[in-house]
Amino acid sequence: MDAQDKKIATDLSYEIIKEVSRAIRPYVGKPESGEKVKMGADGTPTSLIDIIAEEKVINILKNAPVLSYIVSEEIGELKLGKGTKKSISLTHELRRDDIEDEDKPKFIFLVDPIDGTSNAVKEIPAFGISIAVANVPDGRLATLNDVELGFISNFANGNFFEAEKGKGCWLNNEEVHPSTNINISNMTLGGFTKSGTSAASQLVDNARRMRVLGSVVLELSYVASGRYDAFLDLRGSRILDIAASKLILEEAGGIITDKYGEKLNSKLSIHEKVIVVAANNKILHKQMIDILNDNQTDFIGKIGIASRIDQDRPILFSAKIIDYLLTNGREVIIEKRLAKKLEEMKTNPNLDKIIERTKKQYPDIAHLLDNINFKIDYKQISCGILDFDCDMVIVLGGDGTLLRAQSKLKPEIPIFGINMGTVGFLTEIEARDTFIALDDVLKGDYYKEKRTKLVVSHENNHYSAMNEVVIMTEKPAKMLHFQIKVDGETIEEVRADGLIVSTPSGSTAYAMSAGGPIVDPKVGGFIIIPICPYKLGARPFIVSDNSEITVKLLKKGKSAVFVMDGQRNEEAEYEEEIKFKKSHKNVYLIRTSTKYFYKKVKDKLSEGGINNNRC
């Protein structure tokens, strides 16, 4: 957005704010203004005063000399300008490649015509308008990072906030900055919490004071200007409510993230919501994030255990861990098939010989296999892994065992991996370090690392994968012909032995072996790697994980198998499409150190990827 475009967008925003303020003035404080007229496009009730405000916004942009997209609370998503008004899906519009230059909008306006409608109806002085203006990206979906301008006006008292990306934030034409408070006990906190959320309760209890004004837009701007020290919305704020206020807060010098401290970069859509944690500075923000997450995981009371069962070592080790956890007062549940193996082992007349043989094979953990207590009814504490309901799951095995376990667990139960395989890149520790690490974890001294998952769609069926999906022929040495699209745009047509679509987690697995790059798991992207392509220019792609990837089989008479994480196989036929998107659910891995990924790359991906220590 160049200077001229910014002036056009700013002038339109000023005009909208002025006209909406004038239009709603007679309706403020009138009970009939709060009459519910319809349901808005975002699924929330729309009042009479909301309709009046939004109509002003639409008329101004409709008659503007430039075309724009608008995302607004009540009416949804429109294309406006030059006298036209057209309902659209913003996601679909941005994926189109057939729009002529003269028909391409210049801006995306995200507008909440009145934030704090109930306050306006009751004449409580905390209601206003929020306008964010974003670039229209070329060939991809728009996200919060595309917002260039933000405007917020409190209609009740006339305060006017505005910000320009990279230039700063102003309140009533004076530059503003957040407070300098770094102590939670002195904190003024605004926001909304879920009832019964213990972490949020502790945060509120620690704060000096709590404010709930009923306007996300204004309260975030109060953090930017130092009136509040922090704000959180654990219900989930609409993108409409934070698009402008996020820019205003960040340009003032504040911090705004999700619950886990991750930057917000959701796509611009009427339906998008995000949990918001905002603070005046990094120090206070970190304290909030620590409380919000540690409170949920400080005390791990119930622990599940899943293990590979094709070797004696992990079965014996799981018995040792079960006894350790029960001795430390934890409730334990174990996978049914592991319970069966343990019951068989404890009644095996050769148990002592099995233990001694395992000690000789793995001398570094021999001392950990002493005095194993088998006087436990394993069947009584077992259930199917699909029914695990616990605070953490310990997985004994390699990456394959961990991937199998996470695919069956309820979403987002944290996993603590103990390497009993060959490489164990996803696991946290080697077997010899188990009980030192578990001591730390049970004391709450650990971190949760978020990993992205893929949702795979084919013929109205949906699957998931944490590492990768591999598409190949059923018969060896036969090539397939692929068409690959990203957000509807064809990026490649290639003949190859197969194709890999990988998450960052999978970048150190098959994708790496096939010539793909190693990608830090914090990177928001997916990797597309042709396997042995018959084309000199065919190379791996890294695409945004906000994108949708579509793979179509082009060669008639050829079918393919696509395999999710090496665990599940499905078939695809000629001209059928396989679609890939980021899952709304993540995988969380328990880590005992923040210095995880690059150390693993160095330690695990050396000669042959095999650790020289057998344990």
Q: Where are the domains of the chain?
A: 3-175, 184-297, 302-450+588-609, 454-585
pLDDT digits (tens, 9 = 90+) for 237-259: 889 889 999 999 999 999 999 88
Is 40 a residue whose pLDDT tops 80? no
| Better pLDDT: 468 or 199 | 468
Six-digit token pair at 590? 């328990």
Give how far Cα 141 sits from Cα of 41, 109, 134, 299, 548, Å: 20, 14, 12, 41, 10
Architecture per CATH, domain 454-585, reads as: Sandwich (2.60)
CA dihedral 411, 414, 420, 426 (to 10 degrees): 80
Is 47 a residue whose pLDDT tops 90? no
Give how far Cα 263 sits from Cα of 9, 171, 230, 250, 292, Å: 26, 25, 16, 11, 16
Is 61 a residue whose pLDDT tops 90? yes
Is 76 a residue whose pLDDT tops 90? no
Question: ∠460-506-425 over CA atoms, to 5°?
Answer: 135
Residue-level pLDDT at 594: 61
Is 476 a residue whose pLDDT tops 90? no
Instruction: Work out the average pLDDT over 606-611.
Output: 52
Residue-level pLDDT at 377: 95
Whether the CB-CB separation of 553 and 482 falls below 8 Å is answered with: yes
Q: How far apart are CA 528 and CA 569, in angstroms?
A: 19
Q: How far apart are CA 120 and CA 29, in angstroms?
A: 6
* Marked catalytic residue, from 312, 399, 497, 545: 399
Is 323 a residue whose pLDDT tops 50? yes
* pTM for the model: 0.54
Residue-level pLDDT at 230: 94
Q: What is the CATH number of domain 184-297?
A: 3.40.190.80
Task: Using pLDDT thresholds of 50, 70 and 90, give the confidence band for residue 607.
Answer: low
Is 296 a residue whose pLDDT tops 70? no
Residue-level pLDDT at 299: 63
Task: Using pLDDT thresholds of 50, 70 and 90, give the confidence band for residue 294.
Answer: low
| Sign of the C-alpha dihedral computed for residues 577, 582, 585 and 587 taken in this order | positive
Is 295 a residue whose pLDDT tops 60? no
Per the annotation, the verdict on 11 as an active-site residue is: no
Paired with 415 in beta bridges are 393, 589
CATH class as words, domain 3-175: alpha beta
Query: Between helices 336-346 and 312-327, what is the axis angle to 10°?
Result: 100
CATH class as words, domain 302-450+588-609: alpha beta
pLDDT digits (tens, 9 = 90+) for 119-168: 999 989 999 999 999 999 987 899 999 999 999 999 999 999 999 999 99
